[in-house]
Chains A and B, each alone.
Chain A
Amino acid sequence: KQEVTQIPAALSVPEGENLVLNCSFTDSAIYNLQWFRQDPGKGLTSLLLIQSSQREQTSGRLNASLDKSSGRSTLYIAASQPGDSATYLCAVRPGNAGGTSYGKLTFGQGTILTVHP
């Protein structure tokens, strides 16, 4: 059974810092990995998706890397801003494109990020 762990559970940093959020998964047979952001009381917003054949994806100040063989992904946030404060979740999709498992995303518990001015 796939398990996804995110470290740290919570992170508080001053504005302007570069930071790294970590995600690890136990089964390396994944199809892709997705990073989401969730604001309090809101739904999830997709930030970046990395296919299993890719090593990284970038969007603005965000960079996500994937090391499938070691079961790890990191989300790098450059020059953090108070508006980045949210919960960040990673989710993996199994590599079995057939059968009944292809749609199952397994989520980590999330990292609660607070960026203070």
Chain B
Amino acid sequence: DAGVIQSPRHEVTEMGQEVTLRCKPISGHNSLFWYRQTMMRGLELLIYFNNNVPIDDSGMPEDRFSAKMPNASFSTLKIQPSEPRDSAVYFCASTLTLQGLGSGANVLTFGAGSRLTVL
């Protein structure tokens, strides 16, 4: 398996532009997570999906951020309009989440990240 695949790896854009980050989770995983990492705040969970359904988006900073997961193999995180304070590394991660007693280990696998710079 190629692991969690994110694109683009680097994006430099100007304030006000729309940014779309993409993620392909590991095949067979049913949970997908979007994290943001900055020096000041560390790793923050933005949103996560289970079986393509958004479960908790309380970490999404504001309405400028939106995320979708149209199918089990693809997710996007969109920022519109972008601002300099959105500059960060955005990570996508996936895992197989099993419910109920005896649930599996749920090891979280991360992608390499998308480094966003908003000028």
Closest Cβ neighbor of A100 among chain B residues = B56
B79 to chain A, nearest CB (A): 20
Q: Does B107 contact A (CB under 8 A)?
A: yes
B119 to chain A, nearest CB (A): 20
Q: Give A84-101 interface residues, CB cut-off 8 Å to B.
A: 89, 91, 93, 97-98, 100-101
A28, B27: Cα distance in complex, Å: 33
Q: Does A81 contact B (CB under 8 A)?
A: no
Complex contact A42–B33 (CB within 8 A): no
Q: Does A25 contact B (CB under 8 A)?
A: no
Closest Cβ neighbor of B100 among chain A residues = A97
Closest Cβ neighbor of B91 among chain A residues = A43
Complex contact A49–B105 (CB within 8 A): yes
Q: Give B87-119 interface residues, CB cut-off 8 Å to A.
A: 91, 93, 97, 99-100, 103, 105-113, 115
Complex contact B107–A44 (CB within 8 A): no
> C-beta contact mask, B17-39 vs A, less than 8 Å → 1, else 0?
00000000000000101000000
Q: Does A46 contact B (CB under 8 A)?
A: yes
In order of increasing CB-CB distance, the 9 nearest A-B pairs are A107-B43, A43-B110, A44-B110, A43-B112, A100-B56, A103-B48, A109-B42, A46-B107, A43-B113
Q: List 8 A-B contacts (CB under 8 A).
A: A41-B115, A43-B91, A45-B110, A46-B109, A49-B105, A101-B56, A104-B45, A107-B43
